[in-house]
Amino acid sequence: MRIPYFPGCTLSTKAQGCDVATRASSQALGFELEELPEWNCCGATFPLATDNELALVGPTRVLIAAQEEGERLVTLCSICYNVLKRTARFLEQNEEKRERINLFIEEGYTGQVQVLHLLEVLRDELGFEALRERVARRLEGLKVAPYYGCLLLRPEGEIGLDDADEPAILHDLLGSLGCEVVDFPHATECCGSYLTVSAAGAAEEMAYAILDSATREGAEMLVTSCPLCQFNLDYRQDEMGKRHAGFTPLPVLYFTQLLGIALGLDSTEYGFEEHYVDPRPFLEQKGLIAAEKSQAVPAR
């Protein structure tokens, strides 16, 4: 099965390991993610003032590129997913504004592209039970906290991926891989998002509350699908250790990295060395990756 794929800016730069894991896992499961031949940034935020059509030009161009390849588009970054899905919905429901944008950019978007998150493909088209049967290396005994954050689920009426207050899709995925899923109160709280640029201290405290919540419930690692969440939760642990006595570093992975490991794929290209808290020593200890291939260093 072939599906057009939008990696987005971060998966093409700072989070290339996530992109590699995503493509390899998808191919192993029988569907090919084909990157759009030409794409631009989605804009990174969906405009609050939708009467400003210029703010929708960027994501509309992505949808046009997808339209040329088919009727569907898969993405992974929670921010890209949020922006593209809301834009697609808005343009489908607002013909006048769609035509105005088309006139401005001299294109012909019809409003028919369906934007999917990879989690939807795994749940609705492959099925988590079928995924369970494809697992080559069960992640049993691995206590993992699923972190959803904000934009993967909200606004619920526009996104519709899962229940925004009691989501299950990441829980169910991790369970199919054999993980011991750790539920924790801050699974849908904001990590600080772009405050990391303008108010790093505030973002750090928000991220600390999430990690502390997961650790208190017994989590050994945390997974997400958002590169900005991963950055805030992982990179900020340096300062957390200085400010909070007794703070224990917690590896923060993308769910596709664990998926690739569970499928028995080579994880040496997953970019673990780029993580502030290196997960490789812990994964080696659990017997999930080979020590001789990782050249692991302790979590800093």
Phi, psi (5° rounding) for residue 6?
-115, 105
Q: Is the dihedral of CA 162, 255, 217, 132 positive or negative?
A: positive
What is the CATH architecture of 2-118?
3-Layer(aba) Sandwich (3.40)
Taking only the tens place, the pLDDT of each residue in 183-217 is 999 999 999 999 999 999 999 999 999 999 999 99
pLDDT at residue 102 in the model: 98
What residue type is 194 in one-letter code?
A: Y
**Residue 106, by phi and psi: left (phi above 0), alpha (psi -120 to 50) or beta?**
left
Q: Are 62 and 30 in contact (CB under 8 A)?
A: no
pLDDT at residue 12 in the model: 96
- Strand-pair partners of 34: 4
Report residue 245 as tokens. Answer: 């006595």
Structural domain boundaries in the chain: 2-118, 130-294
What is the CATH architecture of 130-294?
3-Layer(aba) Sandwich (3.40)
Report residue 31 as tokens. Answer: 């569907």
Report residue 291 as tokens. Answer: 């020590």
2-118 with 130-294: one CATH topology? yes
Taking only the tens place, the pLDDT of each residue in 81-90 is 999 999 999 9
- Strand-pair partners of 224: 254
Taking only the tens place, the pLDDT of each residue in 238-282 is 999 999 999 999 999 999 999 999 999 999 999 999 999 999 999
Taking only the tens place, the pLDDT of each residue in 223-232 is 999 999 999 9
Rounded distance, CA 67 to CA 253, Å? Answer: 32
If you count DSSP H runs as helices and E runs as strands, how many of each does the chain have, helices first? 16, 8
How many CB atoms are closer than 10 A to CB 140?
10
Q: Are 215 and 277 in contact (CB under 8 A)?
A: no
Closest of 171, 1, 166, 181 to residue 74, by C-alpha: 1
Rounded distance, CA 105 to CA 91, Å? Answer: 14
Q: Which helix (H) or strand (E) segment is 2 a member of?
A: strand 2-6
pLDDT at residue 50 in the model: 76
Report residue 132 as tokens. Answer: 């369970």
Mean pLDDT in the chain? Answer: 95
